[in-house]
Amino acid sequence: MLPTKKEKFSLNSKITWRCPSNIAIVKYWGKKGNQLPCNTSISMVLSQSFTETTLELSEKKSKNAVELAYFFEKKKQASFEERIRKYLENQYKHFPFLKECALTVHSFNSFPHSAGIASSASAFGSIALALLDAAKHNSVDEPFLKKASRLARLGSGSASRSMFAGFAVWGKNKWIPESSDQYAVQLNEVHQNFMQMQDAILMIDESEKPVSSSIGHSLMYGHPFAKNRFKQANERSIKLIEVLSSGDYESFIEITEAEALTLHAMMMTSKNHYMLMKPGTVAAIEKIISFRKESSIPICFTLDAGPNVHLLYPKDYKEKVHAFINSNFKKVIFDKIGSGPQKTS
């Protein structure tokens, strides 16, 4: 539930926001300028996979521009603390309370690390929401979420899409009204078929990924297929919006799977090529396709930048799909479409 009344945020008070992760259907891969996307992307926000971040403000003891202590699951995390510090230094003007206050941040994830769930999206999403709320002392309405989306984007591009219920689009596209490179917007016309979408994340490999997403994005500079890829993603986004509003499962499956494979094809064909899929990823994809053919149930797969497989299916087929999952996969995280961020205290 979003808060509606005017609230005063003062020293020694705490503020907590929960922000879900999201899974992209049309992928963002390649950025320009200050964290701006090279193409339009569209994602579905999750429900069970979220980061919860608590901010505590106290009196500043040093003269540092930003006095910050960051804890992830109760442990001090120096590398992410540094990333947040840089982020805060760059966005200083948005958070005037940093002049007088020291900031302690505690985050935890509802999902395991390296699970194939975009943790930077939910982490930066929840941090941006809590900071903005602390800075604003104000009601949380639509412009608040738009601003939160922009601020989250500056920390992690995909975080911009975690601010809304259901499906969100990010990246300027002349055929998509209201779309912007600066922030994501919610897609309002979504057919009932997709508003009940389930996402089972099949754990194939949980080791740390060898190439980070930021390196992956940078490899799109000078990539031989970049220009066509960005055009393709923009066109698929327009098509996906039509499909989401008409309820056409077949076209949804076609776009979703093509996007997953294109993302990985970009990695495999970049200058310093690399592969994040594992043999188990390919085996899972083959099983999903065979099951779809045999059962005529409209399930499909997508991939994030990692080897784990997101299996998307409509709620109406839950029982049969769970029987398929249970007989084929050992470790699974069950999630589904969500309703966006939440202020929890």
Q: Which positions lie near ligand PMV, rule CB under 6 A?
A: 24, 27-29, 41, 118, 120, 156-158, 213, 217, 263, 304-305
Q: Is 140 helix (H, G, I), strand (E, B) or coil?
A: coil
CB of 9 to ligand PMV, least distance (A): 28
The helix-helix angle for 119-136 and 142-155 (nearest 10°) equals 130
Q: How many CB atoms lie within 10 A of CB 318?
A: 15
Identity of the residue, 30 or 314, whose beta carbon is nearer to ligand PMV in the bound complex: 30
Identity of the residue, 18 or 217, whose beta carbon is nearer to ligand PMV in the bound complex: 217
Identity of the residue, 305 or 325, whose beta carbon is nearer to ligand PMV in the bound complex: 305
Identity of the residue, 149 or 158, whose beta carbon is nearer to ligand PMV in the bound complex: 158
CB of 169 to ligand PMV, least distance (A): 11
Exposure letters 112-150 (e unless 16+ CB within 10 A, then b): eebbbbbbbbbbbbbbbbbbbbbbbeeebeeebbbbbbb
CB of 341 to ligand PMV, least distance (A): 16
Identity of the residue, 156 or 173, whose beta carbon is nearer to ligand PMV in the bound complex: 156
Q: Which residue has the tokens 């039509």?
A: 242
Q: Which residue has the tokens 């943790």?
A: 119
CB of 26 to ligand PMV, least distance (A): 8
CB of 123 to ligand PMV, least distance (A): 10
Identity of the residue, 56 or 259, whose beta carbon is nearer to ligand PMV in the bound complex: 259
CB of 157 to ligand PMV, least distance (A): 4
State both tokens at 288: 């999903």
- Which helix H or strand E contains 52, and what residues bound it? strand 41-59
Q: Is 101 helix (H, G, I), strand (E, B) or coil?
A: strand
Exposure letters 64-85 (e unless 16+ CB within 10 A, then b): eebbbebbbeeeeeeebbebbb
Measured CA distances, 326 to 115, 152, 202, 214 (Å): 18, 36, 11, 34
CB of 132 to ligand PMV, least distance (A): 19
Identity of the residue, 155 or 314, whose beta carbon is nearer to ligand PMV in the bound complex: 155
Identity of the residue, 171 or 314, whose beta carbon is nearer to ligand PMV in the bound complex: 171
Angle 133-134-137 (CA atoms, 0-180°, nearest 5)? Answer: 75
CB of 328 to ligand PMV, least distance (A): 25
Q: Alpha-carbon distance 148 to 81, whole Å?
A: 20
147 contacts 132 by C-beta, under 8 angstroms: yes
